[in-house]
Structure 1
Amino acid sequence: MKCALPVLCLAVAPVLPAAVAIERDAAGVTMRGAGETVHVAVCGPSLLHVVAGPGDPHAASPETPWLDQPCKAAHFDFAGGQKNATLSTSVLRVLFNLDDGRLTFQSAAGETLQTESDREPRRYDRVDINGEQLYRVSERFFVDAHQALYGLGQHQNDVFNYRGTVVELAQANADIALPLVVSSNGSAILWNTASRSWFDNRFPPELKLIADAADAIDYYFLYGPEMDSIIHWYRELTGHVPLFGKWAYGFFQSKDRYKSAQQLLEVAAKYRAERVPLDTVVQDWFWWKCQGDPEYAESYLKPHSDVRGALRELHEEHVHSIISVWEMMDPKSTNFNEFIRRGFIIPGTYDYDATNPAARDAYWKMLIGPILAQAWDGFWLDSSEPEILNGRSDAVLFEKTISLGNGARYTNVFPLLHTGGVYEHWRAS
């Protein structure tokens, strides 16, 4: 038996066919077979929540901070038979094959949107990660030749339609994982886990979604068919995001790096003198005296020692300012040592633990808040993957223990809680 992960594979537990029982409950439909339970909950006419795993149905992760609200039970109809059963809303149908346990998703008009593969549709491999017994789970769908597949976040691979590709879904520098895949047929799947995951369509007729550390297969099925409708349901799940202020949609000037507040003024003055529109100037790294503390380097204060005054001059020219702040702290900084004392640093890193609410509060009070008080207009929250020692940023939480739990479960959640913590404290202030 082979295992592709640096973990101990305890057992291979592919899904067993021959579902033997199906029943309706208040939230949806449960199908039980030999050693596996599949539950389909109806959250809205165009939104379904599917959870499948050994034993009783349960979510892939104990905590889901990426979801804004739980699934709300919605109206559906159910019809059962000896070999097949059907769950229906006004927009969607789910067909349950009671011979082999496969699911097929259709529109109300009968168009097949996605159907599970007839070749081991679901699989659960037992793994031991960070001392916890979990599953490496995979879900297989048959993908017809006419579908294009989009989404997945922001990846530096020059790909728009992901048919025929393999994509690692793990936060890394300049590579942003967002586990939502959208089909050209008007359906979408939100892979409901923060674990490192994989989108695998190297064999074009088959789409395989894999999570490296989970308790179960867990995903939401969304249907438009219009893209705006898919986005609506995605926002219902994850939250409705407000627009930025108008100035944030203008032209930004940044470089690596401005070495003083005086240089910011000179750049803005040059733009105004040349009558070139400019909305924002960005202060990149090494402005600090010691990374992790809110004090400026002595060199940054020469010859203009009044940063607040410099920013006020920018505002008089209708130029906004953004400053780069990292989640990483220099071990010589005052804040790092205070965070260590309070247990707010992720073991084996110089990063504060953004999954800890108390650490997020301290990060605001001791670093972001004092910088904001200097009259900066915004923050470039750099290195929010997070990055750890020696520039590593690819799934670095996988082998860590964090406040939220096993880092293997929550590998991708740091950027959300880090940026969200700053946002929430800023709004509250």
Structure 2
Amino acid sequence: MPYSPKITLLSVNGLAVALGLGAALPARAQQYQQSATGVTVTTDSLTVSVQFYAPDIVRVLKYPKGAPGQHQSLVVEQGPTPGKLRYQARGGVVQVASPTTQVRVNQQTGYVSFFTAQGQPLAAEQPGSLRFRPKTDLGAPTYRVRQAFQLAPGEAIYGLGQHQDGHLNYRGQQVMLKQRNTDIAVPVLHSGRGYGVFWDNYSTTQFADSDKGAAFDSEVGDCVDYYLLNGQGTADGVVARYRQLTGQAPMFPRWTLGFWQSKERYRSQDETVGVVEKYRSLKVPLDGIVQDWQYWGENNDLWNSTEFGNPRFPDPAGMVRRVHALHAHQIISVWPSFGQKTKIFRDLQRDSLLFDFITWPRTPHVRVYDAFNPKARDIYWSYLNKNIFSLGMDGWWMDATEPDQIQPFDTDDDNRTPLGSLRRVRNAFPLVTTQGVYQHQRATTTDKRVFILTRSAFAGQQRNGTMLWSGDVDSRWDVLAKQIPAALSLGMAGLPYWNSDIGGFFPSGQYPKGVQDPAFQELFVRWQQFAAFTAMMRAHGEFTPREIYQFGQPGTWAYDALEKFIHLRYRLQPYLYSNNWNVTSRAGTLMRALPMDFPRDPKVTDMSSEYMFGPALLVRPVTESQYVTRPNKNVPGTTDFAQVKNQPVYLPAGAQWVDFWTGERQAGGQTVQRATPIDVLPLYVRAGSVLPLGPRQQYTGEKADAPLELRVYPGADGEFTLYEDENDNYNYEHGAYATIRLRWNDRARTLTLDKRTGTYPGMPARRTFRVVLVDAQHGTGLGDETAPAREVAYTGQQVAVKL
């Protein structure tokens, strides 16, 4: 029978909690044992283990009495840590407390509740919500497990991965946590009250919030296993505790911040290299080119052989050398599935390391490798290394890491892994397959940072050097709008790096004329503007080409708008790279849902149309057509730019805001109507920001010694830390980097460049900064070359600039 405890409740500040320590002792006191890291409580039918992994991180493990109660985590990297814990047992409740977090376990029911150090309610299980439903899985006894958590009135909840439902606040919502193309399942709940819950289960899980609590209900589990993350009231604190538990995100190479060109697919090495050459001839910046599938050949029996078997790619090493000679980088598509005539298929099949389910392409029957098996991961890397990485390839596009499966799913799950059925671990497949590539490449060389672009993820995957993308989304305006909350939810779940196919992957259903249709051009322009403020700016899709020169000539509206935002992306590189360091060194978040920075502004609780990009920039993408009219999808649209349209933008309370393009200052806490000509995305800078900008350049590092511009946005005090290193390799992990703290004192009108901290090989001893004070007349938008500036010669010592 399922376990269903009953408990008397007391309401404290709107949150139901277990009776306090002074309550009457139950008729039968149950057993408990304390240890250096926590406490174990045994009831009549249940064992509850509470362990502190840090003062702000608590693991709760529950299993039926007498069961083994073991769960080896694929996600958690650290173990429980002895600390300064205090123990108390009174009134039928056992309490164990760190300096920041109190945990109380009811000895009769096993109900667990969490409090701050001051005894204020933090989080609590929903009484009566625990379920262990017996079942068998591949003949082995196990359970379907469920646990719900109480939420306070008005409490917002975020996270849970990436989903295409348009929600930011998941209060009152249901979400199926199951890896699929365009959906990323990450069982991390992030509360607006400043705590998080990581549900450590890898099977398909239904999340549902209702008056019965916010519940995780997992298909398979020998126990209930979750972690309470006490962010001490802040969203950044929750993310920091999650990364502390599951691993920090390493630095990507600096060149990944540039513009990337891709499509489905470049059919020859001449075409691939020719795209890079064309960008160079047009003097449009470009840093990366992506080689999609069928470089192995067009016969699906050779699917994903990892070898260049296609005769249109006669010299793959020469192709990579040519791309490098053009000062660009290349990544390549690899899959977890293999055709039956490939060498890697035979090696994996010999050791029974292939799953047997239907995946894409459906015919002939390609098969997915068992990434949960270390030997299979070794074989996979051996082929990638020998056939691709040895060519000098710069990174990986690991496609279909869900892995992509075709219905029905129920028989697929009966495949066996070293950890049990695929059903038991299916959601963790992207974690282990990217882990295999990351760890093997790190073991092969430390001279080149691992960069993996992939469309699926699980908790902990940030440590594998992965950049996520939103999958094969449709080319529609409503889909563009939904990319924003999808990205922000993933960030609130702790995974910091995300992007999407500019223009959407599937345009043919909506735009059969493709790039020749002005309606598609308008969508593509607005999507590219949004992409300039994501972790990776990458054009990709099927059916119609996506290169900038396909959209017209210089001087035409689409071409010019696209080029403008590519240049802006390159100017923002110092800001972006420093923010990436903040992600690595301080568990930061790049694309920030507004509740992260403005938790006291109720208007942003569920605002999914805007976000902060780092600490300074407020971004409001345009997600509706404004200038193109199209009677139906079979007729190209007609443009009308005679009247400039507007976009409402909410400026969060608690700050003043400066229009990036005009320098106009606005008070927070209001909605303004921002004019949005086709080449303008509403972009505001938080007053007090110091925004470092680099030079215009054709590729990352072209003008490494050029002056940097420091834009100061007055109206409040502020600071920013500029980070620099060798731009690739892992020497930064051993201290080879430098930082300069930039501090703005608004009352004194003084910008202070602090003494440089640290050093790295090749660091310039002297550099020039152009300091610009932004107002409505000077130093705005991209036309800063004529803005009045104070030129500062910086040699590493503190400098104060009066403005």
Normalised to the residue count of structure 2, the TM-score between the two structures is 0.49
Report what 1:15 is aligned to: 4
The 2-side partners of 1:265 and 1:15 are apart by 64
Q: Pick the aligned partner of 1:34 from 15, 20, 44.
A: 44
The 2-side partners of 1:397 and 1:413 are apart by 15
Report what 1:291 is aligned to: 303
The 1-side partners of 2:387 and 2:408 are apart by 27
Pairing 1:9-408 to 2, within 5 Å after superposition: 12-17=1-6, 20-26=29-35, 27-56=37-66, 59=69, 61=71, 63-118=72-127, 120-201=128-209, 203-204=210-211, 206-225=213-232, 226-289=234-297, 290-301=302-313, 305-348=314-357, 350-388=367-405, 391=406, 398-408=413-423
Q: Pick the aligned partner of 2:434 from 416, 419, 425.
A: 419
Shift of 1:189: 0.5
Given that 1:294 and 1:371 are in contact with CA atoms closer than 8 Å, whether structure 2 keeps it comes out as: yes
The 2-side partners of 1:355 and 1:256 are apart by 29
Can you give the 5+ residue segments of structure 2 that lack an aligned partner in the other structure?
7-25, 359-366, 445-803
Report what 1:3 is aligned to: none
Cα deviation, 1:288-317, whole Å, max 9, x if unaligned, reads 13223232243432xxx3221122111112
Q: Counterpart amino acid of 2:4?
A: V
* Range that drifts further, 46-55 or 192-201: 192-201
Partner of 1:162, secondary structure, is coil
Shift of 1:426: 0.9
Shift of 1:205: 5.7
The 1-side partners of 2:410 and 2:323 are apart by 39
Given that 2:304 and 2:335 are in contact with CA atoms closer than 8 Å, whether structure 1 keeps it comes out as: yes
Partner of 2:131, secondary structure, is strand
* Range that drifts further, 41-50 or 16-25: 16-25
**Does the C-alpha gap of structure 1 residues 355 and 100 become closer, same or farther in structure 2, counting only changes over 3 Å?**
closer
The 2-side partners of 1:262 and 1:45 are apart by 57
**Does the C-alpha gap of structure 1 residues 98 and 339 become closer, same or farther in structure 2, counting only changes over 3 Å?**
closer
Partner of 2:312, secondary structure, is helix
* Range that drifts further, 363-372 or 218-227: 363-372
Can you give the 5+ residue segments of structure 1 that lack an aligned partner in the other structure?
1-11
Given that 2:331 and 2:393 are in contact with CA atoms closer than 8 Å, whether structure 1 keeps it comes out as: yes
Higher relative contact order, structure no. (Cα contacts within 8 Å, ≥ 6 residues apart): 1
Shift of 1:392: 5.3
Report what 2:530 is aligned to: none
Partner of 1:373, secondary structure, is helix
Partner of 1:398, secondary structure, is helix
Shift of 1:348: 4.0
The 1-side partners of 2:218 and 2:123 are apart by 19
Normalised to the residue count of structure 1, the TM-score between the two structures is 0.90
The 2-side partners of 1:381 and 1:280 are apart by 16
Report what 2:545 is aligned to: none
**Does the C-alpha gap of structure 1 residues 327 and 392 become closer, same or farther in structure 2, counting only changes over 3 Å?**
farther
Cα deviation, 1:158-211, whole Å, max 9, x if unaligned, reads 11111111111121112111111110111100101212212111x256111112
Given that 1:58 and 1:216 are in contact with CA atoms closer than 8 Å, whether structure 2 keeps it comes out as: no
Given that 2:181 and 2:400 are in contact with CA atoms closer than 8 Å, whether structure 1 keeps it comes out as: yes
**Does the C-alpha gap of structure 1 residues 25 and 110 become closer, same or farther in structure 2, counting only changes over 3 Å?**
closer
Partner of 2:388, secondary structure, is helix
Report what 2:425 is aligned to: 410
Report what 1:4 is aligned to: none
Cα RMSD, aligned residues only? 2.1
The 2-side partners of 1:214 and 1:352 are apart by 24
Given that 2:29 and 2:92 are in contact with CA atoms closer than 8 Å, whether structure 1 keeps it comes out as: no
Cα deviation, 1:130-161, whole Å, max 9, x if unaligned, reads 21111111112111122111111111221111
Shift of 1:77: 0.8
Q: Counterpart amino acid of 1:273?
A: S
**Does the C-alpha gap of structure 1 residues 66 and 394 become closer, same or farther in structure 2, counting only changes over 3 Å?**
farther
**Does the C-alpha gap of structure 1 residues 20 and 209 become closer, same or farther in structure 2, counting only changes over 3 Å?**
farther
Partner of 1:38, secondary structure, is strand
**Does the C-alpha gap of structure 1 residues 395 and 428 become closer, same or farther in structure 2, counting only changes over 3 Å?**
farther
**Does the C-alpha gap of structure 1 residues 38 and 146 become closer, same or farther in structure 2, counting only changes over 3 Å?**
same
* Range that drifts further, 391-400 or 69-78: 391-400
The 2-side partners of 1:425 and 1:128 are apart by 36
The 2-side partners of 1:360 and 1:212 are apart by 26
Cα deviation, 1:351-372, whole Å, max 9, x if unaligned, reads 1111111111111112443211
Given that 2:335 and 2:401 are in contact with CA atoms closer than 8 Å, whether structure 1 keeps it comes out as: yes
The 2-side partners of 1:142 and 1:295 are apart by 53
The 2-side partners of 1:269 and 1:185 are apart by 52
**Does the C-alpha gap of structure 1 residues 22 and 47 become closer, same or farther in structure 2, counting only changes over 3 Å?**
farther
**Does the C-alpha gap of structure 1 residues 369 and 196 become closer, same or farther in structure 2, counting only changes over 3 Å?**
farther
Q: Counterpart amino acid of 2:374?
A: P
**Does the C-alpha gap of structure 1 residues 362 and 273 become closer, same or farther in structure 2, counting only changes over 3 Å?**
same
Larger Rg: 2
The 1-side partners of 2:275 and 2:411 are apart by 37
The 2-side partners of 1:60 and 1:121 are apart by 21
The 1-side partners of 2:293 and 2:354 are apart by 21
* Range that drifts further, 72-81 or 371-380: 72-81
